[in-house]
Amino acid sequence: MSGFEHFSRDALELEREILKRGILMGLDWDDTATLRQLAREALDGGADHTRALLRDPDPKLRAKGELFAFAVLMLRVMQGSAATGLHTHGGVAWKAFGRALIEEAARSVDPPTG
């Protein structure tokens, strides 16, 4: 397994940073509605929106931008590890926000029923 340990280390480091931003933002990782709203903002806003948040003087808005940037890094870690045949993921915060991103991305692709 030598050479692949960095995926686990990267996941742990990302989880820690995501948790910190969640604390700054007052997030509850069990609040699926709020997480999906954040995921929708991240997906709709794109890179320009994230960059604007990262430059914002408000610490909560900057933390939101950092959370969105960490989501991109989450995806890269998962893709990189999957390319080597490994399944890598973080902890509670990673999984909760990742799930919200997946659900919101799928919602964008699937036409509404009703």
Structure confidence at residue 4 as a pLDDT band (50, 70, 90):
low
Does position 77 have pLDDT exceeding 90, yes or no? no
Q: What amino acid occupies position 7?
A: F
Which range among 8-12, 35-39, 94-98, 99-103 has the greatest average pLDDT?
35-39
Angle between helix 59-83 and 92-109 (nearest 10): 80
Per the structure block, which two tokens stand in for 105?
């991305």
Portion of the chain with pLDDT greater than 70, in percent: 91
Spatial distance between the Cα atoms of 33 and 59, rounded to a whole number of angstroms = 22
Maximum C-alpha span of the chain? 51
Q: How do residues 16-47 score in pLDDT, each as one tens digit?
A: 999 999 999 999 999 999 999 999 999 999 99
Per the structure block, which two tokens stand in for 97?
């926000």
Record the pTM.
0.84
How far is C-alpha 12 from the geometric centre of its chain's CA atoms? 13
